[in-house]
Structure formats: structure tokens, C-alpha cells
Amino acid sequence: MPRPSANDIATAALPRISHGRGVYLWDTDGKQYIDGSGGPAVFSVGHGDVRVNKAVAEQMGKVAYGYRYLFTADPLEEMSERICKATGLADMVYTTSGSEAVESAVKIALQYHFDKGDPARVKFIARKRSWHGNTMMATALSGFEDRQRAFAGALPVVGRVSAANAYRLPAGVSREGLVAHLAAELEAEIQRLGSETVAAFIFEPVVGAAGGALPAPEGYAKATAEVCRRHGVLVICDEVMCGSGRTGVWRASEEDGITADIITVAKSLSGGYLPLGAAVYTQEIADVMAAGHGGPLTGHTYTGHTACLAAGVAVQRIIEEEGLLARIRDKGPRWQADLRARLAHLPQVGDVRGRGFFIGVEVVADPETKIPFDASLGVNGRIRAEALKRGLICYPSGGHVDGAAGDTLILAPPFNASDAELDEIADKLVETLETVIAGVAGQ
């Protein structure tokens, strides 16, 4: 049987999946894994939940989906109501991935300006060390050299500003001065591009794969949003990885005190049961697009797929009924503090950060200088392999310092992981990092 192709994520010899229950997965050899990262921060209510499976089966038993131009449907209406209530936004375009949600957000921003009589606003600004997805525009927006290099010549040009990284400050900038520095940099980039030509600024409130669950410093979102407003530039928050409740609030940017013009969600929204994402936007944008073209000029055949929405509704009901966001708000900070304490004997653990059940660990060769391990050591790959050996699934990533070096890992367990399961994840992570660091320290 053909294997998935080898890349920075998959290795040549992957175990073969058998089944999953709750926070655990098993391969066909009977080996058990604890899912410490919800795969790629997807499995919000764990695996094999009979309530979700039943809701999907019931929907499939009636009809797989009602094409959106022909029918509305109960799951579509319930999910839309839930998203509007949770975000304070007005309407959305559904997708079947995060990349398509980002692509839709870009088209919505462009259409908004066009329909408003401002068609010159066609440029986008995004950050270094960010990941927005695998479609062409989403890849262009991303600041992730490894994943862009092969396509660079064909990608639309995007304005670029620094990552908001309080652990790795720009040269000559203090922690206290960081937010003002980054806001000024954004303003300068808007002006360089021509402020009347910029459509939107996109950022992840907590950076995922490209930054290792890295939240922006306090005040960053407000300061940059204020710059955007002054220049008529829309704010897009990419919450594909950090949103839909993962940080303990449904909309991650809520904690930053801003409401974006457009937010993108996917992953935890339907918890990995079936593919579902959305680009969600304000009443103002909805009204302008309705007046201009009758609605958004984007969507796919499977937009608003009924069975996918049935899965999403079942997941969202579980999150609400079991009070899982309150649990994350309560347990997340304590778990993060516990992880920090348990890793304190390893000086190469340079930073433990994140929000809620979205936690990043950064390992460095030298904690004083924060110099990363040499990329040739493949530390993040070693972490993945050592963790898997111990039956721990985590989400390591590399290259965030200079495109090649820099090693982080993300923990993003299901929202309903028990205290004992979170302890097990922490135990296995400590053993993994002890082994990997002992193998590379001093190299």
C-alpha cells in the first residue's frame, strides 16, 4: 500500500490507525497513544464520541446534504445562530477547511471594498512566522519559508510585518516598547504600500504551527486594529487553530479585546469528525455585499454541507452542555503552570506559553542567548519520534527562528481531557524532552 509522502510532518514509517475513544487512539498493532495535541489542534471533544457519530449517521440517513442554492437545513441554521452568538458577528461563508476559510476571508475583504466603491484596495499585509493554509493565497499570506519556497515565484506579493513575539524581541526593542514598535511598523508598511490600496491585515491571535502556540503580547491586537481602522484597512483574525473555544473563549481575539471585521474558524468547530470551516464577518460587510452583489461572491460545491454541519452542531452542543470552555479557563492556566514547573530542570526549555488548552514549548540550545539548536540536528523531528515511541501525540514544528532553525511543540488536548489524562500527557512530554535534550545538548 502506498504511504503518505514524506514531508516535514509525516515520516516514512507511520503507524496504521485502528480506532479512537476519548483522548486515546490505537494503531492496528494494538499500541495506545494519548492525543496530547488533538492531532493538529482539531479534536475538541476527543475521538469516537457516540453523540457526534449518531448525529452524523442520522443526518446521512435523511440526506447527506441539501445544496445551498436549493435548500436551507436545521444544522445549517443552528450552527449559524451559534456562531453569530459566539462571535458577535453577523454572517458567514462555510468551507470544508481552514485554508478555504482564509481564501474566503480574502475574497470577502476584496468584495467589500469593491462593493463599497473602493476597488483600489487589493493588497494584504500579514506577519512573518504565520501559517494561513495551503491554497495559493493562504500560502502567500503565510510567513513560513519551508512551506512556501517551492511556490514562491507564483505567489501573490503580500506586505509583511514582524511576528509579535515577546520571547524573541526585535533588535533594540524592549518588552515594554514592543507593542508600540509593532503598531508603528504596521503603520509604516500600510503607508509604504499606499494606504488607499490596502484591503486587510491578517494575523493569528495565538500563532499555531509557525510559532508554537505563541500569543501576541497584551495590547498588540488593540494597537494594530486601531492603526487599521485609521487607514480603512480591515482586520482579519485567523482563528482556524486557536479559535472555536481552544483558548477557553469561543473567539480567541475576545481575550485581546477586539472584534475583527472577519474571523476564520475550522478545526475545533467540528472537532475532526467531518470537515468544516467558516469565514465569519460583520453586519457592515454583510450589508455592503448584499447591496453590491446580493451576497458574497465566494463558496464551493460543498459549502454548508449538511452532514458536516450536523457533526459541528453535535460537537458545539457537547462543548456547551459540558461547560468545556469554563473547564479550559479553569484548568488551562494551572496545567500550563504545572508543565512549566515539571520542565524547569531542563534549561533548554526556553519558554512555555500559550492560552487555555493551546500550549507551546520552545526548546533552545542556549537559554541565555536563546540560540536555537542547529537545524541539522532535527530536534523537532526527534521530539515527534520520541513522543510517539512513548505513545504521546504532540505537534512539533521547526524553523520559527530563521526559517530553518527553531524548535517548538504544541499541546492542544481535547477540551474534555480529564485531569489524569492531562497529567499523563505532561509525564510523557517530560520524559520525551529529557531524552531528546540529553541526545543533542552540547552539539
Ligand X SMILES: Cc1ncc(COP(=O)(O)O)c(C=O)c1O
Which chain residues interact with ligand X by CB under 6 A?
40, 97-99, 102, 131-134, 204, 208-209, 238, 240-241, 266
Q: Nearer Cβ to ligand X, position 40 or 217?
A: 40
CB of 320 to ligand X, least distance (A): 23
Instruction: Say if residues 72 and 245 touch (Cβ distance below 8 Å).
Output: no
- Whole-angstrom distance, CA of residue 126 vs CA of residue 199: 11
In 3-state terms, what secondary structure has residue 160? strand
Which residues are CB-neighbours of 251 under 8 A, at least 6 positions away? Answer: 86, 87, 88, 237, 239, 243, 263
Which residue, 272 or 421, has its beta carbon nearer to ligand X?
A: 272
Q: Which residues of 286-305 are buried (b: 16+ CB within 10 A; e: fewer)?
A: bebbeebeeebebbbebbbb
The nearest distance, CB 406 to ligand X, in angstroms, is: 17
**CB closer to ligand X, 102 vs 352:** 102
Distance from CA of residue 222 to its chain's centroid?
20
Question: Residue holding cell 452583489?
Answer: 293
Residue nearest to ligand X (CB): 98
- Closest contact distance (angstroms) between CB of 93 and ligand X is 15
Distances (CA, A) of 190 to 34, 115, 180, 187, 197: 45, 21, 15, 5, 9
When the beta carbons of 206 and 437 are compared against ligand X, the nearer one is 206
Helix 220-230 vs helix 178-193: angle between axes, to the nearest 10 degrees? 30
User: Measured from the CB of residue 240, what is the shortest distance to ligand X in angstroms?
Assistant: 3
8-state DSSP, 322: T
Nearer Cβ to ligand X, position 55 or 241? 241
C-alpha cell at 297: 461572491
SS3 label, residue 352: strand
Report in angstroms how near the CB of residue 367 gets to ligand X at its nearest: 28
- Give the strand pairing for 198-203 and 32-35: unpaired
Shortest distance, position 98 Cβ to ligand X, whole Å: 2
Distances (CA, A) of 101 to 42, 58, 123, 147: 15, 27, 18, 19
Nearer to ligand X, 126 or 343 (CB): 126
The amino acid at 265? V
> Do residues 201 and 237 make contact, with C-beta atoms less than 8 angstroms apart?
no
Closest alpha carbon to 286 in 80, 92, 73: 92
Task: Kindly state the smallest distance separating residue 180's Cβ from ligand X, in Å.
Answer: 26
Instruction: Write down the least CB distance from residue 207 to ligand X, Å.
Output: 8
Nearer Cβ to ligand X (275/437): 275
Smaller CB separation from ligand X, 115 or 399: 399
